[in-house]
Structure 1
Amino acid sequence: MQPRVIFVGGVSRSGTTLLHRLLGQLPGVVSLGEVSNLWETGLKNGDLCTCGELISSCVFWKEIGERAFGGWGALDLHEMERLRGTIDRVRFLPALLKGKRSDAVQQKAAAYASYYAKIYAAALEVSGARVVVDSSKRASLACCLGMYADIDLKLVHIIRDSRGVAYSCTKHVLRVDSVGGATLGTASPMDTSLNWIVQNLALEILGRKGVSTHMLTYERFIDDPVGLLRELISFAGLSVDEPAMRFLSDDHAVLDTGHSIGGNPMRAQTGRVSLRLDDVWRTHLPRSDRLLVSALTYPLLRRYARG
């Protein structure tokens, strides 16, 4: 049976961590966080699971490794990283999305996606869940999974105002999954704008090519988290009764711990977590940067704001 997967796609600092945390609270759903971070930062560099253990030592992830590959030691990380470099990059998006794809592209994408399919299937077995959530975000990975993997994929495309993303990407945010106290990557407003355009357009095109997609904005999600989560439940074909939704209200969520990878510091928060719109960019993003980002992203920004 094909594993059922909800892939959260979008740009960094767009609310993907919040979204996967809320989805992971639902019965029958297991959220793995950003699975794309498993191979290098997780296994190779020794980052932490949200349970506090090294990913390579976490009981949950060790069992996934056993079922998927016969143990993490049996996985050729160098081959995985080599394969990733040949297909899971922005420069390969045109080849992945165009109508006629070469045999070489198909073979690389299918081989790469098969690693993820094995992780998803193993996670469902270990957790006993029916649906797995991957918040890896990247459009190139979504293309590989949506077109070539033997999985039942649902793409949730979340979009945040480009100016909010640009401001967030200039801030140094401590990574809670790194033993050495590293920070999340930063980017200039110019680079963020270009990435925002490319990633969102690619995810939109992927939906037009037949991948089941639900698009929403971060701002609308924060305005009505309960209503939007119900929409996602219906989109994913989940059966969730009202008592199971009591962890969420219009202004806060009560979150349990889990076993996820990557994401901003919110991925490790438990208990009552406030839900409020992060629009500090309106007063903190320099006027010159705000005008630059607005000009570069205006056509899409205007269209998505109407959605």
Structure 2
Amino acid sequence: MAGPRVLYVTGWCRSGTTVIGNLLNELDGVVHVGELHYLWRNGVIGDGTNTLCGCAERVLDCPLWSKVLGLIGGADVLASARRWAEAQDLLVRTRHTVRRLRAGQSPAARELAARMTGLYAAIAEVSGAHTIVDSSKFPAEAALLAGPDLRVLHVVRDPRAVACSWLRPKDYLPAMSPARSTVHWTGFNAASELVCLRNPAASMRLRYEDFVRDPRGSLADVLGLLGLRAEPPIGADGLATLGVNHTVTGNPDRFAQGRIRVRPDDRWRRDLPRRARATATAFALPLLGRYGYPVA
């Protein structure tokens, strides 16, 4: 790929990727676009979980996305969105990661990669950003985007904390069982490992627990990965100020603005039922030790 630098965030949901992206969004020349994978299904077609941009406008009415879609959508944005969503289903689901990592790509995969490169270029043109943070968390998409301007941030969180978070519905996001959540956790993280192994110098792993313990130091490491010489937009006390963002979808926390504090969230140790904890531990067992999470 060529054009703006892209930080593609992989991992599984409820791991802090939204707040990480929105903090980076506060830097000059950096724009966090949220889970860009869902621009078409949620923002344009409107059959996903939410049609609002992080600025609280409908994606189609947002001053940034309306211009981006005008640049790349062609005369019929809705038809273009349907073709794009169909290609995503066929080519970049998590189970497609190994295939996307192979050297020879199909014409359809090369076409989707070219479309994504064009989308990033349009976002950079409209926003004026030199760095785009895409927190879509689809490892196969990151595999499709191989190139010198791509950086991969693999964010991981204790699967029991993730399972506990998914037990609670959140605005437009329904609840999920511990078994289903942890199956996704294992699959997405294993696939992310494969993507990072392809180019370790352009990738890094960040544990949620390390981020909330030292958000300023963790963001400094991410900025190093991006080659950006900037001060992390958060204090040593975990306090930061968030402005307006243009995330197309993601955790409902993306709408937060003003003063926030990044702090550890260990409620799962108290709130996660014993049976759910055992289920999450069993399903995630192959990767627990790799990420430094105890079995007990």
The TM-score with structure 2 as length reference comes to 0.90
Q: Deviations over 1:215-247 (max 9, x none)?
A: 01000000000011111111101121x4xx454
Aligned partner of 2:53 in structure 1 is 49
Distance in 2 between the 1:246 and 1:38 partners?
A: 27
2:283 counterpart letter in structure 1: L
Q: Provide closer, same or farther for how the CA distance between residues 161 and 52 of structure 1 changes in structure 2, counting only shifts above 3 A.
A: same
Q: Deviations over 1:112-152 (max 9, x none)?
A: 22222122111111111111110101212222223xxx671
Match among 226, 229, 245 for residue 216 of structure 2: 226
Q: Provide closer, same or farther for how the CA distance between residues 254 and 226 of structure 1 changes in structure 2, counting only shifts above 3 A.
A: same
2:258 counterpart letter in structure 1: G
Aligned partner of 1:250 in structure 2 is 237
Distance in 1 between the 2:246 and 2:291 partners?
A: 33
Deviating beyond 4 angstroms after TM superposition, the runs of 4 or more aligned structure 1 residues are none
Match among 272, 281, 292 for residue 294 of structure 1: 281
2:123 counterpart letter in structure 1: A
Aligned partner of 1:201 in structure 2 is 190
Aligned partner of 1:279 in structure 2 is 266
Distance in 1 between the 2:110 and 2:267 partners?
A: 41
Distance in 2 between the 1:74 and 1:299 partners?
A: 42
* Structure 2 residue runs without a partner (length 5+): none
Deviation at 1:90, TM superposition (A): 2.7
CA contact (8 A) 1:65 1:72 kept: no
Are residue 268 (structure 1) and residue 265 (structure 2) matched? no
Distance in 2 between the 1:100 and 1:143 partners?
A: 11
Aligned partner of 1:215 in structure 2 is 205
CA contact (8 A) 2:27 2:233 kept: no
Distance in 2 between the 1:273 and 1:71 partners?
A: 41
Range 289-298 or range 230-239, more displaced: 289-298
Percent identity at matched positions? 35
CA contact (8 A) 1:8 1:137 kept: yes
Distance in 2 between the 1:224 and 1:134 partners?
A: 22
SS in 1 for 2:71: helix
SS in 2 for 1:273: strand
Aligned partner of 1:191 in structure 2 is 180
Are residue 141 (structure 1) and residue 141 (structure 2) matched? yes
Deviation at 1:76, TM superposition (A): 1.6
Q: Provide closer, same or farther for how the CA distance between residues 168 and 152 of structure 1 changes in structure 2, counting only shifts above 3 A.
A: same
Range 293-302 or range 151-160, more displaced: 293-302
Q: Deviations over 1:45-75 (max 9, x none)?
A: 1711121211111111111112234466375
Distance in 1 between the 2:94 and 2:135 partners?
A: 17
Are residue 304 (structure 1) and residue 291 (structure 2) matched? yes
Distance in 1 between the 2:169 and 2:76 partners?
A: 32
Q: Deviations over 1:135-179 (max 9, x none)?
A: 101212222223xxx6711000000001011111121100xxxxx
Deviation at 1:201, TM superposition (A): 1.1
Q: Provide closer, same or farther for how the CA distance between residues 124 and 100 of structure 1 changes in structure 2, counting only shifts above 3 A.
A: closer
Range 136-145 or range 246-255, more displaced: 246-255
RMSD between aligned residues? 2.0
Are residue 31 (structure 1) and residue 32 (structure 2) matched? yes
Q: Deviations over 1:196-224 (max 9, x none)?
A: 11111111111111262110100000000
Aligned partner of 1:3 in structure 2 is 4
Distance in 2 between the 1:87 and 1:61 partners?
A: 24
* Structure 1 residue runs without a partner (length 5+): 175-182
Aligned partner of 1:120 in structure 2 is 120
Distance in 2 between the 1:25 and 1:159 partners?
A: 23
SS in 2 for 1:42: helix
Are residue 62 (structure 1) and residue 62 (structure 2) matched? no
Distance in 2 between the 1:246 and 1:92 partners?
A: 36
1:239 counterpart letter in structure 2: R
Q: Provide closer, same or farther for how the CA distance between residues 258 and 246 of structure 1 changes in structure 2, counting only shifts above 3 A.
A: closer
Q: Provide closer, same or farther for how the CA distance between residues 219 and 70 of structure 1 changes in structure 2, counting only shifts above 3 A.
A: same
Distance in 1 between the 2:182 and 2:252 partners?
A: 23
CA contact (8 A) 1:223 1:250 kept: no
CA contact (8 A) 1:3 1:117 kept: no
Q: Deviations over 1:31-56 (max 9, x none)?
A: 11110110011111171112121111
